[in-house]
Amino acid sequence: MMRLEELVDYLDGYLRIAEVPDYPNALNGLQVEGRDEVRRIGVAVDASEASIRAAAGRGCDVLIVHHGLFWDGNVPVTGRRYRRLRLLIERGIALYSAHLPLDVHPEVGNNVVLARELGMMVEGTFGDYKGMPVGVWGRLALSREALAARLDEVLGGRVRLLPGGPERLERVGVLTGAGGGMIADAIAAGLDALVTGEGAHHTYFDAIEGGINVYYGGHYATETWGVRALAAHLSERFGVPTEFIDLPTGL
């Protein structure tokens, strides 16, 4: 058992919540207070009604998510917003969110953990958000089809390959989630391939005409890695049981 205040203080420092810039509606850190004693921690990608219900059903005192409650902005507490908040408050469950701080973390971040799963050592960064690099890259000497097959296995589903780059790969970037908007940054970094979750329609031409292979593995599938690694880290450090609540969106 640990105190909620102790957990929040640790997460704020470990994830560099105050230092990492993010989108205004991310509201990183503690979003909803809960009971003081923490005996079980749940982690999930999204602060959905289903994930909150699952956390309550599994006896979690805290739910740590990658995508928090407030992406839709400053809106009335009605409908699904009300249902989520009511369930958290009635069950005494605290909600903690970490978006870009979890994407870019050097130990438990989505990018570095997925890179490790692919067998790649991180050698550098690329891309920029408000002066902060948001992607990582390393070397993988294999064919673009072999990387697609490896991603199918690691992510548990078929990835979409935009084959705009060389057939043999060397420098590969990883930027989980909606990284299709960073194709130009990946090209500028001299990468042969970019592994990400999703992108807009026009990114097909960005890849094909820009001379880079792009792999779309799904936003959700590429972003389970951070919360799972963070759960393992917290369990090892504090001895508190953790639960990964897996609710794939298929997107």
Secondary structure of residue 146 in the 3-state scheme: helix
Q: Under CATH, what is the fold of the domain 2-98? A: 3.40.1390
Terminus-to-terminus CA distance in the chain, angstroms? 36
pLDDT digits (tens, 9 = 90+) for 138-187: 999 999 999 999 999 999 999 999 999 999 999 999 999 999 999 999 99
Residue ranges of domains in the chain: 2-98, 110-222
Within 10 A of 192 (CB to CB), how many other CB atoms are there? 23
Q: What's the chain's Rg over C-alpha atoms?
A: 19
Selected from 3.40.50.1820, 3.30.750.24, 3.10.180.10, 3.40.1390.30, the CATH number assigned to the domain covering 110-222 reads 3.40.1390.30
- Fold match between domain 2-98 and domain 110-222: yes
Least Cα distance to 178 among 234, 146, 216, 213 occurs for 216
What is the phi/psi pair of residue 248, to 5°? -60, 140
What is the phi/psi pair of residue 234, to 5°? -65, -40
Distance CA 213, CA 164 (A): 5
CA distances in angstroms from 88 to 47, 98, 99, listed in the order given: 10, 18, 20
Helix 79-91 to helix 49-57 angle (10° resolution) is 20
Sign of CA dihedral 28, 32, 36, 38: negative
Q: Do 60 and 40 form a contact (C-beta atoms < 8 A)? A: yes
pLDDT digits (tens, 9 = 90+) for 39-94: 999 999 999 999 999 999 999 999 999 999 999 998 999 999 999 999 999 999 99
Secondary structure of residue 246 in the 3-state scheme: coil
pLDDT digits (tens, 9 = 90+) for 206-230: 999 999 999 999 999 999 999 999 9
Secondary structure of residue 133 in the 3-state scheme: coil
- What's this model's pTM, rounded to 2 decimal places? 0.97
Q: Do 155 and 110 form a contact (C-beta atoms < 8 A)? A: no
Q: Do 193 and 164 form a contact (C-beta atoms < 8 A)? A: no
Distance CA 79, CA 198 (A): 28
What's the confidence (pLDDT) of residue 1? Answer: 86
For β-strands 37-38 and 2-3, DSSP reports them as antiparallel
